[in-house]
Structure 1
């Protein structure tokens, strides 16, 4: 290791608290911690925050697993697993699709509907907590910035500029 490498490494380590990935990851953990507390207090002891991605993408009249996966930006296999977990816990049930015998329609149970409404209240709780830290104006700016980034990423996926699934980086050279 050269002296220049040591200097660059020290500079990098000193700035790690400003790295985008770290900031987004830690912010997500903070949000998840608040959500788990809120949902646990509401009595959802077996519910994982990651399962909400399936629930919120189910239409009132029901939705196919493929469509839920597409809306959530997940694989059909991953969504099928989430739907099975949610069905086992009583949040959803499935029926055969009358227009395609191979497909299933996922529908919300009363518990699933209550969970989504509680999730709405949970997001308001999270916003209140974030607002206490950064203020309402900064929170709105943060949401606008993140929305712009998400819109750009989704546009890139639709146009084929990036794959739908993240690709592991092979950046290590010998």
Structure 2
């Protein structure tokens, strides 16, 4: 093996703890752990990230499955399955559209509303844990930087991990994790 390549590889590996992919992946796992702990304390035992992807898109007056699927970037069938899971757990209710009996309207139940408010508390808790380490100003900077990156990739229709891939990843996961 070429000494220059080995030397280059050695230097690359020496800095592995600062590779952006590794830092983001480890940060994501940390956020999941903090969120899981927080939500378990609130009584959530069978709640996945994919559930939040759907809940976050439900309008206060209700949304139809086609719109939810479009907003989350998933198929109507995948959203229907997710909505059924949410209904079975009591997070949403389903009604027929008053003007079109073929269309179902998904509404947040009282439990779904409480869940969204718990999620709001959970995100504030995560931010406060990060602020304990880096300070509130740097947390805001981090959010702004990540928002810029995500917005850039979203607007360019990149292969960046969308709600669709996040939901599909969670639907494929046979071991539901709390989030």
* TM-score relative to the length of structure 1: 0.81
Check whether the contact 1:36–1:49 (CA below 8 A) recurs between aligned residues: no
1:140 corresponds to which residue? 140
1:24 corresponds to which residue? 24
Moved over 6 A (4+): none
2:127 corresponds to which residue? 127
Structure 1 residues 13 and 76 mapped into 2: Cα distance closer, same or farther (>3 Å)?
A: farther
Q: List gaps (5 residues or longer) in structure 2.
A: 163-179
Alignment of 1:1-174 (within 5 A): 1-157=1-157, 162=158
| Cα distance in 2, alignment partners of residues 37 and 109 from structure 1 | 24
SS of 2:96's equivalent?
A: strand
Check whether the contact 1:87–1:93 (CA below 8 A) recurs between aligned residues: yes
SS of 1:93's equivalent?
A: strand
| Cα distance in 2, alignment partners of residues 10 and 52 from structure 1 | 42
Of 11-20 and 40-49, more deviation after overlay is shown by: 11-20
| Cα distance in 2, alignment partners of residues 10 and 56 from structure 1 | 45
| Cα distance in 2, alignment partners of residues 3 and 31 from structure 1 | 40
| Cα distance in 2, alignment partners of residues 4 and 10 from structure 1 | 10
* TM-score relative to the length of structure 2: 0.79
Root-mean-square deviation (CA, aligned residues, Å) is: 2.2
| Cα distance in 1, alignment partners of residues 43 and 78 from structure 2 | 26
Deviation at 1:88, TM superposition (A): 1.4
Structure 1 residues 134 and 105 mapped into 2: Cα distance closer, same or farther (>3 Å)?
A: same
| Cα distance in 2, alignment partners of residues 11 and 55 from structure 1 | 45
Q: List gaps (5 residues or longer) in structure 1.
A: 167-174
| Cα distance in 2, alignment partners of residues 141 and 75 from structure 1 | 35
Deviation at 1:17, TM superposition (A): 1.6
May I ask how many residue pairs the two structures share in their alignment?
A: 162
Check whether the contact 2:153–2:160 (CA below 8 A) recurs between aligned residues: no
